[in-house]
Amino acid sequence: MSSVSHSGRSQTFLAGQGHLLITDSDGRRLGYVGGTFVSEVPSAVGSVLPGGLGLPGGPIYYLPLTETYTIQVSGQALMATEPVAVSQVGAGYVAWVEDVAPGVAA
């Protein structure tokens, strides 16, 4: 059994319905674009864990701490939207934003 080291990375995740799209300073993306998962950011990983009732949960994104990111919340595939929260956990810090209204990308 092999394991992946996540030291030197933050964990970023969405609490609620929708998807995240994370973009680094070079325009490389990690997350969902139009319902398709993309992984262009070097050394970044999106990991989907099993959720309750056997349904998949949202991905946890492991991002290198050496980069600056933009995080977009999308509710494009939802019938109705409700506010969500975005959290990030790293060595020595925790940050979150609550009551984010997912946007619909044009």
Could you report the per-residue pLDDT of 90-102, keeping only the tens digit for each? 888 899 888 877 6
Residue 88 within a domain = yes
Q: What residues have CB less than 8 Å from 49, skipping those under 6 apart?
A: 56, 57, 60
Specify the number of domains making up the chain.
Answer: 1
Contact 73, 20 (CB under 8 A): yes
Residue 2 within a domain = no
Residue 93 within a domain = yes
Domain housing 64: 9-100
Q: pLDDT per residue over 41-75, tens digit each?
A: 999 999 877 666 666 667 899 999 988 999 998 87
Average pLDDT over residues 64-88: 81
Q: pLDDT per residue over 4-29, tens digit each?
A: 455 689 999 988 888 899 999 999 99
Residue 77 within a domain = yes
Residue 87 within a domain = yes
Residue 106 within a domain = no
**How many whole angstroms separate alpha carbon 3 and alpha carbon 12?**
19
Residue 3 within a domain = no
Residue 4 within a domain = no
Contact 10, 63 (CB under 8 A): yes
pTM: 0.78
DSSP string, 23-45: EETTS-EEEEETTEEEE-STT-E
Contact 47, 9 (CB under 8 A): no
